[in-house]
Structure 1
Amino acid sequence: MKPLQSLVVLLLAVAIGVVAAQWLGTDDLNRYGEVTLRYAGYDYHSNLPKVALLSVIGVLVLWLLWSLIAAPFRAWGRYRRKQGRVRLIDGLLAYEHGQWQRAEKLLDGAAKDPEVSGVALANAVRSAQVRADAPAAEALLQRLGESDATLQALLRAEQLLANDLPVDAINALDVAAIQPLPPRGLWLRTEALARAGRAHEAYGQLGALRQTKVLPAEASSELEARLAAQALLEAGDVNALATQWEATPKALRPTPDVVAAYATRAVALDWDEPALLALEQALDHRWDDELVALYGRLPAERLATRQANLQRWRNVHDDSAALRLAQGRIALAQQQWDAADAFLHEAIAAGAGAPAWEALGEAFAQRGEHVLAAQCLTNALRLQRGEDSVALVRASAAVVDPPLHATVEEQPIAPLPPVYDANEERDAFGNRGLP
């Protein structure tokens, strides 16, 4: 209590005492009641107000005596708490500075204060984990479980996820004693479910996770798109895929990752028509080079319709290298060699990169021109390594690729020099005789 407040309280107590003394000095207090105390053969008579006042004074005196007796102990407790706060602050500062061993020691000492033991032990565990001291971290985790089981489960789940053990992390967070999970626990469980291949369950937690606002709006949207795509890829059959697609919000369906996952899984389940239709609708809604590349790469039918759609899109997106690559692949699937060569060369010129060279190599391989196919695959490897591609050369040294790069012509093979003098004498086995 502040000194000014103590002075005010003391003055009020003195004023009340003076008024009470004046009031108790009157003679008509017996009308409020009389009290008779009989003890050891003696009778003590008084009125009720005096007895009440004496009782209050007695209680105050006892409280004052107890305060005086307990004052040293309270002072010692305040000193210990202050020292614990100092250790906690110094330990956290040492942790931020990267002084792991010192931080662990200080935080372990600060954990003796029950009010901050959870925070201190949690950061001590992190310090031990950074030092790769697994036994010390486990011992600190066990101590943390005695004071804060929820925080222990969060740290254990975090450690298990870092060790790529998502199922064990889920089991650590599903303990009944720590339910309901705090926001960070929900986020860790969602991530663990996704890593464990149970994205549909993780997707069901997004509502509760969004209400906690543990993630920013942008990160929450990215997580939703990632889980939606993964849940579609994990569909076991056509019915499960259709159900998951219907559960996906309409605003999320045109997202490239989501619609690509749906189309890929649908084609894998021999459900080609919905896959192609979803890709076409997504490309009509919002253009994306990765989606059009997937549209040309899927091993589905409707080749003539897909080629017509690609030509229609080319009227609007003529500068897309991925679109030209898709046209080349569709023409290659239709065995239209000349059109495939033209489209693939255009894609290479537009910067389609290694996939275009691979497709061109496939085209040459299907026609039996394995030398050119090998050169195309070599160019694809060069581009993947960050090197420049070279022009294609037939066996007759005729360049078949457009002059996109410097022409590389075949050089005649020079005869090897003789390894010995033809005029020197040798035995029947070709060995030279000793001089």
Structure 2
Amino acid sequence: MKFLVWLLGLFSLAVALKLAAQNPGYLLLLYPPYRLEISLILFLILLLTLFIMGYFTVRLVLSAIRLPAYIRQSRIERSHSKAHAAMMEALNAFFEGRYALAEKAAVRAMKLGENSSLNSVIAARSAHELREFSRRDTYLAASDGKSTEISTMHLMAQAKFSLDQHQPQAALHALTELRNSGVKGHTGALLLELRAQQQAGNWDAVLDMTNQLEKQDAMDSSAAMQIRQQALLEKIRAHTLDAPTLLALWKNSPQEFKRLPKVVAAIARALIYQGDCRSARQIVTDKLNQEWDRDLVLLYGDCLADETVCQIEQAERWLKQHPDDAGLLLVLGKLCLQQKLWSKAQNYLDASNSITPSIDAYTTLGHLAEKLQQPDEAFKYFQKAMSLAQGK
């Protein structure tokens, strides 16, 4: 477009000169006592030349005046370009797992004037992965007190760092600050809070967080079920619930939860701890009738209530189906000892040891020998139990 304008201008000038050449006019300049007569064409050419020279002179002066500002702006843009490149290098290195390189690149970006607080968060996360906690805290402090987005990154990073160092209360404090700042329904924050509640042992809160995450489709049903089972199991193992609450919890638990032997064992131990041995025995009995478990049968012998005879009868019915179960024979020996059936206790305990010698069986035989006032025999049994404990 500029070329066409200049071309038209040159043609116009050529036409004007042609017309002027056909009209031999002149220009008279009079300044007493001086007199100057000049051709009109020459005057116009001189005037045009002066205009062009003046135009370029002004442009040159303006360029010289603007040169320092241009150089400064060019340097700033070049510095920003280098800083942005360093930040992208830090991001790439961090997600590739090259944390030392990511930290160095993020620090370089900050030194080059990159104002994004993302650099300080990347540097902090990289230093955390390198277990350089003092540097991590310094970087993290640099991102504090900024905009809402930066504050969110800062608090999320702080919560993650606290969890990795097993400081759930500090993590919960950071997540509470995040929620108070107006950030709600944040899936990442909910997942961090779930971890924090698990570390803190707040199992009711764990169940609530699991429900929220499942509603948001942030957790599949199988993972949610596993977390719920763990939370319920830990609530039982904590021994902080009384017997009626434990029974209500057991009653309202899902069937797949009740079928787990470790859960049955946990609820039985908790009920025994609370003094409700009858309920514990019933739960263990029902489970063993459904599915035999060698570890669970040992717990049956600890459910000592006022109905030891009934327990012995039940255990002897199981013995017909599992005659070679050393654990069941040990339980029968303990129950017979509790009922002062010395001979039967001796036979069952000896049978248990003949299949699989155990510390518990020899210790129980030692107590039986003491009951029968046989100190030498008791000493031998205790010595055998000690040898087994020492791996001899």
Larger Rg: 2
Matches of 2:142 and 2:218, distance apart in 1: 27
- Deviations, residues 382-419 of structure 1 (Å, cap 9, x unaligned): 4344x23xxxxxxxxxxxxxxxxxxxxxxxxxxxxxxx
- CA shift in 2, pair 1:75/1:123, >3 Å: closer
Match of 2:207 in 1: 203
Match of 1:88 in 2: 91
**Equivalent position amino acid for 1:139 in 2:** T
Deviates more, 1:136-145 or 1:251-260: 136-145
Matches of 1:342 and 1:189, distance apart in 2: 56
- 8 Å Cα contact 2:86/2:106 also seen in 1: no
Match of 1:270 in 2: 275
- CA shift in 2, pair 1:211/1:319, >3 Å: farther
| 1:315 partner SS | helix
Match of 1:355 in 2: 360
Match of 2:176 in 1: 174
- CA shift in 2, pair 1:133/1:383, >3 Å: same
Match of 2:37 in 1: none
Match of 1:292 in 2: 297
- Deviations, residues 207-236 of structure 1 (Å, cap 9, x unaligned): 234456666766544433221111123443
- 8 Å Cα contact 1:206/1:224 also seen in 2: yes
What is the CA-CA distance between 1:173 and the residue it aligns to? 2.5
- Deviations, residues 26-47 of structure 1 (Å, cap 9, x unaligned): xxxxxxxxxxxxxxxxxxxxxx
- 8 Å Cα contact 1:125/1:141 also seen in 2: yes
TM-score, reference length from structure 2: 0.66
- CA shift in 2, pair 1:297/1:173, >3 Å: same
- CA shift in 2, pair 1:325/1:136, >3 Å: same
Matches of 2:165 and 2:352, distance apart in 1: 43
Matches of 1:384 and 1:213, distance apart in 2: 50
Matches of 1:302 and 1:143, distance apart in 2: 69
- 8 Å Cα contact 2:346/2:365 also seen in 1: yes
Match of 1:40 in 2: none
- CA shift in 2, pair 1:103/1:261, >3 Å: same
| 1:251 partner SS | helix
- CA shift in 2, pair 1:305/1:158, >3 Å: farther
Matches of 2:299 and 2:256, distance apart in 1: 21
**Equivalent position amino acid for 1:334 in 2:** Q
Match of 2:265 in 1: 260
- 8 Å Cα contact 1:190/1:202 also seen in 2: yes
Please list, as runs of the form range in 1=range in 2, the aligned pairs for 1:5-154 lying within 5 A after superposition. 80-93=83-96, 95-96=97-98, 101-109=100-108, 118=118, 121-122=120-121, 124-145=123-144, 146=146, 147-154=149-156
Pick one of 224, 230, 234 that aligns with 1:230.
234
Matches of 1:242 and 1:77, distance apart in 2: 67
Matches of 1:302 and 1:159, distance apart in 2: 54
Match of 2:10 in 1: none
**Equivalent position amino acid for 2:140 in 1:** L
Matches of 1:250 and 1:297, distance apart in 2: 25
Matches of 1:355 and 1:107, distance apart in 2: 61
What is the CA-CA distance between 1:196 and the residue it aligns to? 3.0
Q: Is 1:343 equivalent to 2:348 in the alignment?
A: yes
- Deviations, residues 260-300 of structure 1 (Å, cap 9, x unaligned): 22222222222222221111112222222221111112343
**Equivalent position amino acid for 1:172 in 2:** A
Relative contact order, higher structure (CA 8 A, sep 6+): 2
Matches of 2:102 and 2:357, distance apart in 1: 53
- 8 Å Cα contact 1:361/1:377 also seen in 2: yes
Pick one of 307, 328, 331 that aligns with 2:336.
331
Match of 1:190 in 2: 194
Matches of 1:331 and 1:220, distance apart in 2: 45
What is the CA-CA distance between 1:344 and the residue it aligns to? 1.9
Pick one of 225, 249, 254 that aligns with 1:249.
254
**Equivalent position amino acid for 1:360 in 2:** L
Match of 1:305 in 2: 310
What is the CA-CA distance between 1:252 and the residue it aligns to? 0.9
Match of 1:160 in 2: 162
Matches of 1:314 and 1:364, distance apart in 2: 25
- CA shift in 2, pair 1:257/1:213, >3 Å: farther
Mark the runs of 5 or more structure 2 residues left unpaired by the alignment: 1-69
Mark the runs of 5 or more structure 1 residues left unpaired by the alignment: 1-68, 389-435
What is the CA-CA distance between 1:338 and the residue it aligns to? 1.9
Percentage of matched positions with identical amino acids? 21
- 8 Å Cα contact 1:267/1:275 also seen in 2: yes
Aligned residues: 312
- CA shift in 2, pair 1:188/1:367, >3 Å: farther
RMSD of equivalent CA atoms = 3.5
TM-score, reference length from structure 1: 0.61
**Equivalent position amino acid for 2:136 in 1:** A
| 2:305 partner SS | coil
Match of 1:43 in 2: none
- Deviations, residues 162-200 of structure 1 (Å, cap 9, x unaligned): 444333333332332374354454344334334434323
- 8 Å Cα contact 1:254/1:285 also seen in 2: no
What is the CA-CA distance between 1:148 and the residue it aligns to? 3.9
What is the CA-CA distance between 1:357 and the residue it aligns to? 2.9
| 2:231 partner SS | helix
**Equivalent position amino acid for 2:174 in 1:** A
Matches of 2:334 and 2:159, distance apart in 1: 46
What is the CA-CA distance between 1:302 and the residue it aligns to? 1.9
- 8 Å Cα contact 1:322/1:352 also seen in 2: no
What is the CA-CA distance between 1:347 and the residue it aligns to? 2.1
- 8 Å Cα contact 1:104/1:128 also seen in 2: yes
